[in-house]
Structure 1
């Protein structure tokens, strides 16, 4: 896993702990890294050395569309050239998640959507809307 969410203070530590708990190596940003794309060479080296088949890149979350973060994500997608791009959405976001999914698909291209917090009291009608809009 790659801890490239440099926006949320606890994100890197949270992913480090999760990786430790499940026995998955996590690439952490070095002290001088301020942009996720600056982690790529280290990730690439460790990916090749470790012969990993799957690399999960955790990026900064977006509850709505933020152009600067979208540009950052486009750069990362260009660098990593992933086989699959998944959008993770909070079920409590509601119908705004449809707009977010559409924009992500147009700008980044997504292969699937994962909804979190479905165990709460959120009504997940947005799941059906996204399925209808994106196919």
Structure 2
């Protein structure tokens, strides 16, 4: 039950739901999330750490920056929960807006490396 509680507590925060929604679009750097969510690195990283601890995401270092993606090792239960959550978020106004902002941001980032896209903070 403790693990089950941790799995669901990860979704008990709006920012973590927004991050899960954005990572549904593919791997993202911390700087990408910071720009779309309009939040400081410390806050984004704290939420990413919680999601990682709960097993929803994984990360890897790329230079100075961490890149995150949805976990490839979800349990069958987690996969079903994530599928349901993804379906719900596709019609939620904030989630839809976040994806639109992300797409615009990534187009304007245009291949530039992290740290060159309007922020100099490190992970």
Name the larger-Rg structure.
1
Fold match, TM over 0.5? no
Which has more helix, going by share of residues?
2
TM-score range normalised by the length of the shorter chain: under 0.3
Q: Give the TM-score taking structure 2 as reference length.
A: 0.25
RCO higher in structure (CA 8 A, sep ≥6)? 2
